[in-house]
């Protein structure tokens, strides 16, 4: 690999767009230019393409108009390719062309120019980047906040920290005089110079990928505002351009030319399923250990005091943040190199895409190679119609509530992707003329898909799945752990893409949206799970539970486990014989014991004694830790120790502890997210009430998306909301014991204990004694 493509954009020279490609080579950055790529789109004729072509000739801004054939959903069509000189001219020109009497519509006029270039030239960013061993650096700012609130106009940046994957860690501070002997600290008297340090460091260390945590929405906007106040620029681009901030819906995105900026916050939110996404939470999830943390008032007093020991705390904290970012980057960046390659767009852009956009750019790239016309993005009214017309989803079995022993779990491997490729589920294959009713793949809801040709989307999905199998095979054989890791990341990326295909068909903003496809996929899914349940029952199994693509079974008679397993294998083989070739029911494992509460809420213990909990409070972030922990202990007592008495004692002891008033607030805090602006709530729950109070009294600002961490206090009030206060405003011990006993611990544990009634023989009558009154 001679060079790696990092970025693509265009500049304007004499009114003409010039593409720039940013390559990293062994000798540094190289910018290649292409002056010969012109913006274009397709005009679709009402009737005759040559008539439309004639109408287009001589129109101002039309450089060239030529008839050519493209493949549409309805088959080959003649279209007119319209070229113009500059991307900025496209919006007005496409409107004008679209209004011509001979023109039905325009297509592919809504693809950003630099992305269009990468697609048309089939260039792949990040190809071979691993061999280059790129320099990844993290940055972070601290602001001294003596006023308790943050005001970018008033409060300067006091610290700027930096760490990279070469072992450099340092921090620039807004203090003139040396305080510490720590060689990592640079003392800088002016904020202007402090801000400029970022650009100097990035250049000095020749950073390839700059990362941060929530840098899009905090650090970069803050730095840019402070830079403006200080009349300076934040030069980070390899062409010496400043970092650029873009409004993207509700959020901001920031981009650097050439070297790529990745905000790990958005990356991590997609990749990990954890209750909270603060930097320390994510670091703990990855590293398995806690990160140094400081409270806001500690930070303020340490900065104000200026004592060496206090200042050292600040330095350590600030550096621990950027070092944590490097740890996170090291674990997630490989997958994002791969996603950038699959999506075919620069890392900075692909890392900020959701699943829908990723699928779309992947499909657009494939469509180009097959001369397929890319459908337009839907207009607002169409999006509204799609949203107002949801697609029926999966089937969930009402569980046989209570305790069960010797449970077997089966599930369909990649159910939805395998349905798509097995039945050729593709918008272009819908209701074809070439197949009779009998010949076509007819979905349970009556949609017919061609059985003679193969759809473009169903085919690329098949290729993805086959590629993944091939890579997994190579991965297994590979001995070198580093190469193994790369294969693993490749197969993960393909899995992510394949699993997004169904969601994409039902995504209201999708170009290739297809209600018929989405409904057919879930329709087939429901059919297969229903048939599997029937077959299991016919084979003598009891179906305890099932959801979408999984079934939990048990054999009701008391026969040896070995015989049950044999019957299970026979059942599975029979099911698989009937299934299309790409589909497969797999045996996932067995569980000695489980308790099923309701749909999507149950717990299982495996052969090693490991507890799996689904949907119950233990798994929810909007329940207090004390309720979650007690529920988990009770589940273990029942499923692992088979000892309901122990469960009862756990609950009694916890309640005593709560009553004593000595439970730390950490175990009582409830985390609930604001999912809209505070003024937009019709119903005011406790978290909203707590947030409102804190905003009124403390001058804090909780916007859309903020996590509210509150305590139900012992303060007077009728509603729970009256007693709810954000944790920062509550003293230890100031909590409402009755609330935590009656509304947190008891509901959580009783849900589990009440299920015991279903197997009284095992409980030897003890279940009956455990009612709410006994406590």
Partner DNA sequence: TACCAGAGGAG
Partner DNA sequence: AAATCCTCTGGTA
Q: Which spans of this chain sit near DNA (rule: CB under 7 A)?
A: 248-249, 273, 275, 352-357, 377, 390-396, 398, 411, 499-500, 502-504, 506-509, 518, 522, 547-550, 597-601, 613-615, 619-622, 671-676, 680-689, 719-721, 743, 747, 751
User: Tokens representing 460?
Assistant: 């690329």
Hey, what are 627's tokens?
Answer: 């309720």
Q: Supply the minimum distance, in Å, between the C-beta of residue 714 and DNA.
A: 15
For DNA, the closer CB: 190 or 675: 675
C-beta contacts of 572-581 below 8 A and 24+ residues apart: 572/410, 574/535, 574/539, 575/531, 575/532, 575/535, 578/531, 579/528, 580/418, 580/422, 580/423, 581/422
User: How many Å apart are CA 253 and CA 259, to the nearest integer?
Assistant: 15
In order of 15, 34, 53, 576, 621, the CA distances from 85 in angstroms are: 8, 14, 18, 57, 54
Q: Which is nearer to DNA, 36 or 273 (CB)?
A: 273
Instruction: Report in angstroms the alpha-carbon separations of 396 from 321, 346, 482.
Output: 43, 40, 41
Please give the Cα distance from 68 to 89 (Å, whole number): 22
- H or E element at residue 70: strand 64-72
**CB nearer to DNA: pick between 179 and 627:** 627
Q: What does the CA dihedral 649, 651, 655, 656 come to, rounded to 10 degrees?
A: 10
What is d(CA 37, CA 775) in angstroms, rounded to the nearest whole number? 77
Nearer to DNA, 134 or 686 (CB): 686
CB of 243 to DNA, least distance (A): 19
CB of 191 to DNA, least distance (A): 33
Phi first, then psi, for residue 702 (nearest 5°) are: -110, 110
Q: How many helices (H) and strands (E) does the chain have?
A: 26, 26
- 4 vs 688, which CB is nearer to DNA? 688
**Cα pseudo-dihedral 215, 218, 224, 230, rounded to 10:** -120
- Minimum separation from the CB atom of position 513 to DNA (A): 9
The residue among 339 and 440 lying less far from DNA, judged by its C-beta, is 339
- The token duo for 202 is 């990035």
**Minimum distance of DNA from residue 354's CB (angstroms):** 2
Our CB check for DNA shows the closer of 55 and 667 to be: 667
- Work out the number of other CB atoms within 10 angstroms of the CB of residue 432: 18
Q: Cβ of residue 527: shortest distance to DNA, in angstroms?
A: 14
d(C-alpha 719, C-alpha 721), whole Å: 5
Q: For the CB of residue 706, give the shortest distance to DNA in the complex, in Å.
A: 10
Phi, psi (deg, nearest 5) at residue 491: -70, -35
Closest distance between DNA and the C-beta of residue 559, in Å? 27
As a whole number of angstroms, the distance between CA 290 and CA 465 comes to 38
Minimum distance from residue 679 beta carbon to DNA (Å): 11
Q: What gap in Å lies between CA 714 and CA 658, rounded to an integer?
A: 13
Q: Which residues are paired to 589 by β-bridges? A: 409
Distance of CA 418 to the CA centre of its chain: 23
CB of 623 to DNA, least distance (A): 8
- In the chain, % helix, strand, coil (3-state, to 5) comes to 45, 20, 35
Least distance CB 508 / DNA (angstroms): 5
406 Rama sector, left if φ>0, alpha if ψ -120 to 50, beta otherwise: left
Rounded Cα–Cα distance for residues 145 and 153 (Å): 12
Phi and psi of 139, rounded to 5°? -135, 160
Look up residue 764 and give its two tokens: 């030897």
Name the minimum Å distance from CB 466 to DNA.
Answer: 21
Residue with smaller CB distance to DNA, 298 or 606: 606
Cβ nearer to DNA, comparing 64 with 276: 276
Q: Which residue, 199 or 525, has its beta carbon nearer to DNA?
A: 525
* Strand extents, DSSP E, 181-259: 185-187, 209-212, 244-248, 251-255
CA–CA dist 643, 636 (Å, integer): 9
Shortest Å, Cβ 560 to DNA: 28
Using the minimum distance from each CB to DNA, give the nearer residue, 468 or 687: 687
Nearer to DNA by Cβ, of 405 and 622: the residue is: 622
Q: Which is nearer to DNA, 233 or 598 (CB)?
A: 598
Sign, CA torsion 493/496/502/503: negative
In the complex, the smallest distance separating the C-beta of residue 316 from DNA, rounded to whole angstroms, is 32
Q: Which of 642, 651, 745 is nearest to 403 (CA)?
A: 642
Question: In the complex with DNA, which residue's Cβ is closer, 156 or 747?
Answer: 747
């Amino acid at each position: 690999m001679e060079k790696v493509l990092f970025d693509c954009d265009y500049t304007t020279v004499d009114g003409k767009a010039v593409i720039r490609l940013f390559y990293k080579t062994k000798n540094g950055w190289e910018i290649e230019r292409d002056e010969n790529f012109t913006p274009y789109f397709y005009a679709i004729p009402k009737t005759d393409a040559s008539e439309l072509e004639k109408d287009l000739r001589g129109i101002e801004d039309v450089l060239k108009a030529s008839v050519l054939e493209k493949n549409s959903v309805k088959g080959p069509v003649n279209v007119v390719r319209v070229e113009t000189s500059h991307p900025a001219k496209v919006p007005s020109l496409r409107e004008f062309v679209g209004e011509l009497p001979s023109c039905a519509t325009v297509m592919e006029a809504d693809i950003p120019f630099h992305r269009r270039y990468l697609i048309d030239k089939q260039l792949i960013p990040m190809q071979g980047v691993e061999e280059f061993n790129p320099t990844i650096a993290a940055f972070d700012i601290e602001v001294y906040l003596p006023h308790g609130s943050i005001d970018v106009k008033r409060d300067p940046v006091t610290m700027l920290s930096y760490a990279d994957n070469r072992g450099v860690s340092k921090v620039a501070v807004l203090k003139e005089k040396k305080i510490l002997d720590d060689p990592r600290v640079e003392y800088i008297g002016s904020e202007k110079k402090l801000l400029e340090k970022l650009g100097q460091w990035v250049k000095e260390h020749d950073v390839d990928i700059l990362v941060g945590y929530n840098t899009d929405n905090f650090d970069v906007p803050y730095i840019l505002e402070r830079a403006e106040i200080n009349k300076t620029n934040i030069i980070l681009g390899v062409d010496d351009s400043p970092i650029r901030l873009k409004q993207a819906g509700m959020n901001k995105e920031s981009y650097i030319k050439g070297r790529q900026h990745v905000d790990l916050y958005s990356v991590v939110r997609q990749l990990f399923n954890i209750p909270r996404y603060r930097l320390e939470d994510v670091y703990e999830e990855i590293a398995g250990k806690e990160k140094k943390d400081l409270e806001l008032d500690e930070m303020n007093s340490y900065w104000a005091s200026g004592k060496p020991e206090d200042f050292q705390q600040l330095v350590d904290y600030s550096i621990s943040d950027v070092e944590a970012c490097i740890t996170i980057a090291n674990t997630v960046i490989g997958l994002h190199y791969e996603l950038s390659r699959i999506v075919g767009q620069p890392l900075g852009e692909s890392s900020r895409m959701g699943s829908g956009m990723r699928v779309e750019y992947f499909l657009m790239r494939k469509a180009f190679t097959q001369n397929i016309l890319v459908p337009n993005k839907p207009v607002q009214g169409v999006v509204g119609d799609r949203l107002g017309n949801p697609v029926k989803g999966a089937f969930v079995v009402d569980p046989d509530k209570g305790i069960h022993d010797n449970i077997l779990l089966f599930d369909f491997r990649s159910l939805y992707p395998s349905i798509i490729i097995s039945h050729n589920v593709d918008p272009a294959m819908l209701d074809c003329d070439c197949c009779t009713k009998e010949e076509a793949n007819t979905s349970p809801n009556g949609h017919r898909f061609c059985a003679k040709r193969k759809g473009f989307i169903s085919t690329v999905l098949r290729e993805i799945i086959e590629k993944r199998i091939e890579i997994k095979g190579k991965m297994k054989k590979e001995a070198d752990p580093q190469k193994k890791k790369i294969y693993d990341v490749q197969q993960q990326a393909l899995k992510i893409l394949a699993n997004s295909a169904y969601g994409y068909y039902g995504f209201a903003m999708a170009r290739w949206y297809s209600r018929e496809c989405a409904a057919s996929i879930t329709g087939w899914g429901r059919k297969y799970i229903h048939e599997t349940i029937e077959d299991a029952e016919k084979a003598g199994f009891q179906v305890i539970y099932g959801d979408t693509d999984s079934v939990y079974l048990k054999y009701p008679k008391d026969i040896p486990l070995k015989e049950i397993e044999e019957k299970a294998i026979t059942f599975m083989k029979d099911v698989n014989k009937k299934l299309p070739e790409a589909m497969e029911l797999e045996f996932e494992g067995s569980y000695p014991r489980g308790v099923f509460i309701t749909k999507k809420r149950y717990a299982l213990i495996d052969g090693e004694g490991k507890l799996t909990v689904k949907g119950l409070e233990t798994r929810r972030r909007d329940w207090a830790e004390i309720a979650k922990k007690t529920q988990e202990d009770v589940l273990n007592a029942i499923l692992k120790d088979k000892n309901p008495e122990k469960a009862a004692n756990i609950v009694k002891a916890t309640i005593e502890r709560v009553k004593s008033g000595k439970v730390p607030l950490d175990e009582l805090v409830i985390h609930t997210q604001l999912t809209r602006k505070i003024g937009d709530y019709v119903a005011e729950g406790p978290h909203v009430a707590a947030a409102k109070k804190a905003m009124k009294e403390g001058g804090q600002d909780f916007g859309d998306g903020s996590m509210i961490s509150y305590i139900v206090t012992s303060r007077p009030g009728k509603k729970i909301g009256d007693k709810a206060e954000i944790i920062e405003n509550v003293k230890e011990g100031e909590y409402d014991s009755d609330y935590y006993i009656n509304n947190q611990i008891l509901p959580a544990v009783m849900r589990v204990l009440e299920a015991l009634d279903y197997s009284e023989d095992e409980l030897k009558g003890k279940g009956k004694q455990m009612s709410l009154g006994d406590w």
